[in-house]
Amino acid sequence: MNPLLSRLLVVVVSGLAMTLSGQTAITIPGLEVPITWQSMLVIVLPLVLPKWEACLGIALFLIAGALGAPVFANGYGGFDVYLSPSGGYLIGFLLMAIAVALLKPGLTRHHPLRPMWLFPTLHLGLSVFGMLWIQVMGYGDISLGKHFLPYLVGIIIKSFMAWGIFVVTRILLSEYRKSNK
């Protein structure tokens, strides 16, 4: 396949994955909020795919949403979503993806347990960024009980899932490379 076409495909697939992940959620009895997959994907995509193409796909998703495409959770779109309490989390998606892209070389060369710390740390960073956005933009007072604790179980589940995807992808890529030598 043409290298440029291959890179473009990663961008498009990353943007589509972000869109689809925002339209699906699982509800676990006893949890206050459903679990969505976008925050997991912004970590996984640049880690398992070519990093900058994945980041560009995430940026494409965010731009499409800002221009009104119904790509955000529950089919929302438009720049006004950025001017809501969700805006900080959306901006944080791209910041998380860039952080993963910058950290990727050191994470993928070593033992698969090494990047395990990355997933909950970046989710925590996203939560802090989102809460600061809510506070600074004047959308209300932030509290751990309202803006973090209800999401904690989901963060833990998504962190383990992201790490599992990373490990499986790493094994599959290793086997693929061995078979093509």
Task: Give pTM, 2 decimals.
Answer: 0.89
Q: What mean pLDDT do residues 160-178 have?
A: 86
Q: Could you give the domains of the chain?
A: 3-179 (1.10.1760.20)
Q: What mean pLDDT do residues 138-163 have?
A: 87
DSSP state of 150: G
Q: Is the pLDDT of residue 133 over 90?
A: yes
Q: Is the pLDDT of residue 116 over 90?
A: no
Angle at 30 between CA 29 and CA 34, to 5 degrees: 65
Tokens of 164: 């599992």
- Identify the pLDDT of residue 167: 86
**In this predicted model, what pLDDT tens digit does every residue of 3-41 receive, in sequence order?**
899 999 999 999 999 999 989 888 888 888 888 899 999
How long a stretch of residues is the chain? 181
* Residues ≥6 apart with Cβ < 8 Å to 15: 57, 58, 60, 61, 64
**Model confidence at 141, in pLDDT bands (50, 70, 90)?**
confident
- Identify the pLDDT of residue 110: 67
**In this predicted model, what pLDDT tens digit does every residue of 48-96 receive, in sequence order?**
899 999 999 999 999 999 999 999 988 999 999 999 999 999 999 999 9
Query: How many whole angstroms separate alpha carbon 62 and alpha carbon 72?
Result: 8
**Model confidence at 142, in pLDDT bands (50, 70, 90)?**
confident
- Identify the pLDDT of residue 77: 96
Provide the CA 77 distance to its chain's centre, in angstroms: 18
Query: How many whole angstroms separate alpha carbon 18 and alpha carbon 14?
Result: 6
Helix H, strand E, coil C: the string for 47-110 is HHCCHHHHHHHHHHHHHHHHCCCCCCHHHCCCHHHCCCCCHHHHHHHHHHHHHHHHHHHHHHCC
Query: How many whole angstroms separate alpha carbon 30 and alpha carbon 20?
Result: 25
